[in-house]
Structure 1
């Protein structure tokens, strides 16, 4: 799109030159994102800027997954510019870009009414857990199971598992994550039953996604083993995990010292992401990408 002017405001595409200003805006909003976190999500998608007299006063990004899915996030309006319709205009630009795709977002209580008016419906919740003061739990592997580092030959399998668990095509996002993250798989007899990634994010590190198959009913234990592996490697370091409410993992995370500090509402428009119940996502990538 070309620049669109509304009064003294200009709405235009988000470029890499805007990362520093967007990062400053997120710091003002007390978000933990580093400039590199902004760079990663922008490289994975696209978005828009609201600018007033050369000052960036609003941001919004979106991501497309395959032919039918999408998500949006990083929607911020400068505190002194709120109440002027900037957030709504940015949302309208995002929704025009995403069209009829099944679109997911995570909403704060303050943002939920606006999203509901734009056609989003509540479909779940995400619990944010974090701490540097946690206990590394001992989770025994079942006979024949082992953890190993992710190898290039695993990529196609991990894309398939991540796509089935999230309900979105991860064929572009997962390889991008593997470029910036470390990862392990849990396998048995050569079959990958789950995996977990860890990467630098915000105040420290984030674990996610964490995915496990459900066919034998041991998926929660496997997810705990995958998470425990990375906690052992990250002991005494700030670690964050965002877990879907339906995974049932939140209480366990709290028990080991990863405190729940926030809960956001998961919302969707144009339908619900088609999750495969035989694979569960125990931790998301982040609240923007799901």
Structure 2
């Protein structure tokens, strides 16, 4: 049977998330649903005989920026070109936008061959939460602060993403704002994942915030 490339339904996106968990990527609960709600055409899969064999997320943030993620081929179907097929479909979908991705170290040479260049370093920390330090003005976002959060995020992220943040700031994720003199000076969002919790985005004016 020939390979078919098409958009993924929500249950197929969750299957892709399960594959990511099997690869040890530790995805957050409900994360993919927020991305898909923000960009319903942002998840693409390859199918053979009606079964998904590879998938990718190619989420667009407006007309100028997009992000590649969840790029996985089923282990038993690797080496057959399915991964490259969804990669090409995702890149075509994002077109002339500036495109970002998080590249694991062992895959960075492959991404360079595809035209990507490192622009920042990612450091991962893990440990046990011990509570917030005293003295700071830390509060959850309220509806009247949404416009302020969007404006602050715009200074940290390459493109506006109101549809995404409106979902991402909602429970069960825990969002907190750092305030100083009545204005936002940082914010972060924690969400439960298959092994503990993850934090992101996490932005601040400085390391003391």
Aligned to 1:28: 22
Aligned to 1:195: 187
On the 8 A contact 1:148/1:184 being kept in 2, the answer is yes
On the 8 A contact 1:88/1:114 being kept in 2, the answer is no
Normalization by structure 2: what TM-score?
Answer: 0.86
SS at match of 2:156: helix
On the 8 A contact 1:58/1:78 being kept in 2, the answer is yes
Identify if the C-alpha distance between structure 1 residues 28 and 57 changes in structure 2 by more than 3 Å, giving closer, same or farther.
Answer: farther
Q: Aligned partners of 2:196 and 2:131: how far apart in 1? A: 20
State yes or no: 1:209 paired with 2:205. Answer: no
State yes or no: 1:149 paired with 2:140. Answer: yes
On the 8 A contact 1:25/1:57 being kept in 2, the answer is no
On the 8 A contact 1:199/1:205 being kept in 2, the answer is yes
Q: Aligned partners of 1:91 and 1:82: how far apart in 2? A: 13
Pairwise CA distance, 1:183? 1.9
Identify if the C-alpha distance between structure 1 residues 167 and 20 changes in structure 2 by more than 3 Å, giving closer, same or farther.
Answer: closer
Q: Aligned partners of 1:67 and 1:127: how far apart in 2? A: 29
Aligned to 1:168: 159
Map 1:74-89 onto structure 2 (within 5 A): 74-89=70-85
On the 8 A contact 1:48/1:60 being kept in 2, the answer is yes
Deviation per residue, 1:157-192 (Å, 9 max, x gap): 111111211222122221111123222222223122
Q: Which has the higher contact order (CA 8 A, sep 6+)?
A: 1
Aligned to 2:37: 43
Partner of residue 116 from structure 1, selected from 107, 112, 116: 112
On the 8 A contact 2:58/2:69 being kept in 1, the answer is yes
Pairwise CA distance, 1:149? 2.1
Q: Aligned partners of 1:200 and 1:138: how far apart in 2? A: 18
On the 8 A contact 2:65/2:159 being kept in 1, the answer is yes
Pairwise CA distance, 1:21? 3.0
Normalization by structure 1: what TM-score?
Answer: 0.64
On the 8 A contact 1:184/1:196 being kept in 2, the answer is yes
Map 1:259-278 onto structure 2 (within 5 A): none
Aligned residues: 206
Q: Aligned partners of 2:51 and 2:29: how far apart in 1? A: 18
Q: Aligned partners of 2:197 and 2:10: how far apart in 1? A: 23
Map 1:183-262 onto structure 2 (within 5 A): 183-213=175-205, 219-222=206-209
5+ residue gaps, structure 1, are 1-6, 214-218, 223-290
SS at match of 2:60: strand
Pairwise CA distance, 1:25? 2.4
Identify if the C-alpha distance between structure 1 residues 192 and 117 changes in structure 2 by more than 3 Å, giving closer, same or farther.
Answer: same
State yes or no: 1:91 paired with 2:112. Answer: no
RMSD (Å) for aligned C-alpha atoms: 2.3
Partner of residue 103 from structure 2, selected from 104, 107, 110: 107
Q: Aligned partners of 1:161 and 1:25: how far apart in 2? A: 34
SS at match of 1:127: coil
